Structure 1
């Protein structure tokens, strides 16, 4: 069994003080279903405390009234080598989140770049080793992939999402080991076009292939520090595979936040500072 090594991470999160489901912009959202904000806060707090207990640094951005989805911090930006690529949301309901997150980074001394193209941050942009995987098809325009490559100087691999339930890349693919020497992912083939499935199979032949049950539990919206992995309690097949690969899966319930279409990863924006 491979020995896994946890590495210190820095995250940005946002308390769900104003969380509710007041509009529908993805298949998980249903305005007729009751949303328990207090339960969402409790579940979020467990996730937040988990990161702190593991020794990671967690910064907090103040929630803005009227922006119930701001809790999904991963969508707010992409940070690579200390440079912030701002989010530019597709839907008007979330549009103010991009400037709010960009201002937080600017106020904290980061170099920020205002995106010209539609993108939803780490929801559709994930770093695996030295490569950026970028999703398109529902929320992020493929033109943003070129903008991102020009800004970061890194290879950006475009992946087409085809299943509306997995509308962001981080709902169909999880980064488990981001070390360039041995990158590892888990993904759900049914979330991708046939061409993108071929790309993933060629690049990551050792990837964990998620089951339908994993995907339906939003199990791929997971967060790994290289050894410990936060997973949805319902992603039981994935948890077994993680153990088989030397990881330590930790089930954290984010079921109330799932009503808005997000899980642990959606709530967690990684701040990758200058190497």
Structure 2
């Protein structure tokens, strides 16, 4: 991903003509094409890396108490522009103060993936709705759209890596087919689930169910035994595998956050995925 950061950063500077006019307007258009293609490839690589970590059992959740209404608001702000470009009506229903014990990044990724798919496969002037509520000891996230829908025979394949339902509408949209697979895997890592209900030509409902509270210690006797040994004065066993070595970063590869900040005389904090 690091070389792509340079491509995206410099193409954005050219497209915005940060240092002044670059000549013919066609060049600005070319720079925007480079940036959008780089962004697509960057997201694709990120999805593949995430899926690889999940399949290798190396995706570690960092769980804490999270406010779902705040997380949902963040995701809506991210997706609102794309929805408005297609004149799609977004209806959001989230109980204020609804809390969940989980990985904030993973839950946010699930929400964005569901909303992105709904916007992508809903036509101009369509409608999508997101509902987040608590049902007994679970949080239920329901994403509904009135888009193209999914053929009945394809529903069982969705949620697997690199699978997309094939129809005339989806052929016009780029995608890795990893969004639902990653969302399903992240839900299952939380001891949750993802279900798809759809009718071709009518729309789709994707429902994610996640447990509200921290998993009970009784379900993890090994971890519980380790804690009991520590409480009784025993030392905690050393991990079987050493911590992974830090990944080296090539010094001559520029950081993306430095490009625009340097050009505009400001600073920006990098958000790492």
TM over 0.5, shorter chain: no
Instruction: Flag the structure with more relative contact order, 1 or 2, with Cα contacts below 8 A and sequence separation at least 6.
Output: 1
The TM-score range, normalised by the shorter chain, is: under 0.3
Please give the TM-score of this superposition, normalised by the length of structure 1: 0.25
In terms of Rg, which structure is larger? 2
